[in-house]
């Protein structure tokens, strides 16, 4: 690695999600200057109508390297159920949705459910986030008469701007920073014909207890007649002794070609009617969940996406790069998005430390970082995509990546085996 001189850095972080905040904590821990920007206002950032949990497993090992010791010791506060220990669950049970029979347990490394909101709040402690900053464009300044020549400039919609030595886009799957790096067309996501209902709900104490009797954090089922996946996971446990206070994440996903022609997915009424009708075809406790959801409940629906156009990008000599969902937005059915984002954040902090110490140049370490992120991200996007198709096809379910390799991080040589 090329020798360099010790230098002061100022890193610009675009996006105050989990990965962006973890990068900020890691840079702060190592005495590296940064500014972090978030497109949402401080109010909307905390009051999003939709909230969900994420599965943390192998990526947990990357958190402590970035967080200060006091926050790392409090990480359990981000758990959906803070009373659980990391070894409370060994994997994800998959059931036959029609009969309720256990098909298999999807292996994982000490999986826990974490709250996106709780994790962000914990990671943001001590971090000065600049809210309401939507990126218009970012570029390297090329003006030999300017003292900022060769640095990165971000322009925001409010007319403000920022200049730094490096910018990292941590602004999610629909990253605006990605557009500045690869161009608008190449940054766009590909939509696949898989639909997803995803909402949170509280149930009566009896049903709440019944759901968690199967598994403390999540249970999943696949219906053999149409391949609909029906997932229930714990999202928040304010009081472990009062199950009526618990909230659950309720998800159904299915391949669009199995949607009956008579179903109306364009209206909330039609989505709720379809959701309840599908629930009636399931064994317990999934059937009772559908019956418990009240009329008028909002049922959001999404189409799944991924970055099909992903390819090696021009990082402008190490000055512009990506991290987390901005670098590898993937479909959710293998639970890899958060874990890969945490590894990205840890790796990025590590290379910035090497530059600040003068042991490497920005250009060489960012290129090495990008190459690794791209290879790992493309591999997982591909495997997760296969999983999203296979999990909704009963005949292919047992050949799916989740059966062959579970939720473990993919190792070299496993890619072909998981196809």
pLDDT tens column, 62-79: 899 999 999 999 999 999
Burial of 145-168, coded b for 16+ CB within 10 Å and e otherwise, reads: eeeeeebbbbebeeeeebbbbbbb
**What is the C-alpha separation between 133 and 197, in angstroms, rounded?**
30
Distance of CA 206 to the CA centre of its chain: 31
**What is the C-alpha separation between 404 and 107, in angstroms, rounded?**
9
CA count, 13 A, side-chain hemisphere, 115:
24
Predicted pLDDT of residue 142: 93
| Contact in structure between 41 and 131 (CB atoms under 8 Å) | yes
Q: What is the DSSP pairing of strand 112-115 with strand 53-56?
A: antiparallel
Question: Which two three-digit tokens encode residue 89?
Answer: 């669950």
pLDDT in tens, 330-387: 998 877 788 889 999 999 999 999 999 998 999 999 999 999 999 999 999 998 899 8
pLDDT in tens, 303-334: 999 999 999 999 999 999 999 999 999 998 87
- Whole-prediction pTM: 0.91
Q: Is the pLDDT of residue 182 over 70?
A: yes
User: Could you identify the residue written with the tokens 């690869």?
Assistant: 182
Residues whose CB is less than 8 angstroms from the CB of residue 124 and which lie 6 or more positions away in sequence, other chains included: 16, 21
**What is the C-alpha separation between 248 and 259, in angstroms, rounded?**
25
Q: Is the pLDDT of residue 242 over 90?
A: yes
| Contact in structure between 235 and 113 (CB atoms under 8 Å) | yes
Predicted pLDDT of residue 417: 46
Between 141 and 55, the more confident residue is: 141
Q: Provide the 8-state DSSP code for 257.
A: G
| Contact in structure between 108 and 55 (CB atoms under 8 Å) | yes
Listed residue (116, 117, 135) closest to 36, CA to CA: 135
- Which ranges in the chain are annotated with CATH 3.50.50.60? 10-85+116-189+308-418
- Coil, strand or helix at 305: strand
Question: Which two three-digit tokens encode residue 399?
Answer: 């050949």
Question: Which two three-digit tokens encode residue 379?
Answer: 């591999």
User: Could you identify the residue written with the tokens 């937005």?
Assistant: 329
- Residue 44, preceding bond cis, omega within 30 degrees? no
| Contact in structure between 67 and 158 (CB atoms under 8 Å) | no
Predicted pLDDT of residue 92: 84
Listed in order, strand segments (DSSP E) in 274-382 are: 301-306, 320-322
What class has domain 10-85+116-189+308-418?
A: alpha beta
Question: Which two three-digit tokens encode residue 181?
Answer: 């790096």
Average pLDDT, the chain: 90
């Amino acid at each position: 690695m090329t020798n360099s001189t010790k230098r002061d850095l100022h890193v610009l972080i675009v996006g105050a999600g989990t990965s962006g905040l973890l990068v900020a904590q890691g840079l702060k821990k190592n005495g590296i200057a940064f500014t972090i920007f978030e497109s949402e206002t401080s109010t909307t950032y905390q009051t999003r109508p939709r909230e969900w949990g994420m599965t943390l497993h192998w990526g947990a090992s990357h958190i402590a390297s970035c967080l200060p010791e006091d926050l790392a010791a409090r990480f359990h506060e981000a758990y959906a159920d803070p009373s659980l220990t990391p070894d409370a669950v060994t994997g994800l049970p998959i059931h036959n949705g029609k009969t309720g029979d256990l098909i298999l347990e999807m292996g994982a490394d000490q999986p826990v459910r974490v709250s996106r909101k709780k994790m962000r709040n914990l990671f943001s402690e001590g971090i000065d986030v600049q809210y309401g900053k939507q990126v218009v464009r970012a570029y390297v300044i090329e003006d030999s008469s300017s003292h900022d020549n060769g640095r990165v400039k971000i322009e925001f919609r409010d007319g403000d701007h920022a200049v730094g030595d490096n910018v990292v886009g941590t602004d999610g799957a629909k990253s605006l920073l990605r557009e500045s790096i690869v161009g608008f067309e190449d940054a766009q996501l590909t939509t696949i014909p898989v639909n997803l209902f995803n909402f949170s709900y509280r149930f009566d104490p009896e049903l709440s207890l019944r759901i968690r009797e199967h598994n403390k954090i999540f249970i999943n089922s696949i219906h053999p007649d149409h391949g609909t996946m029906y997932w229930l996971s714990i999202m928040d446990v304010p009081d472990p002794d009062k199950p009526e206070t618990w909230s659950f994440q309720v998800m159904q996903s299915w391949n669009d070609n199995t949607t009956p022609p008579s179903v109306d997915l364009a209206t909330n009424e039609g989505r709720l009617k379809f959701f309840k009708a599908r629930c009636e075809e399931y064994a317990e406790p999934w059937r009772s969940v559908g019956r418990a959801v009240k009329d008028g409940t909002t049922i959001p629906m999404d189409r799944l996406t991924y970055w099909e156009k992903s390819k090696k990008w021009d990082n402008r000599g190490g000055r512009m790069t990506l991290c987390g969902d901005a670098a590898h937005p993937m479909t959710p059915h293998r639970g890899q998005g958060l874990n890969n984002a945490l590894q990205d954040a840890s790796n990025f902090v590590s290379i910035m430390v090497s530059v600040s110490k003068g042991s490497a140049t920005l250009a060489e370490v960012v290129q090495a970082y990008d190459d690794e992120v791209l290879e790992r991200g493309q591999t997982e996007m591909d495997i997760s995509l296969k999983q999203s198709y296979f999990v909704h096809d009963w005949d292919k379910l047992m050949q799916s990546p989740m059966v062959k390799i579970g939720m473990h991080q993919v190792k070299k040589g496993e890619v072909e085996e998981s196809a």
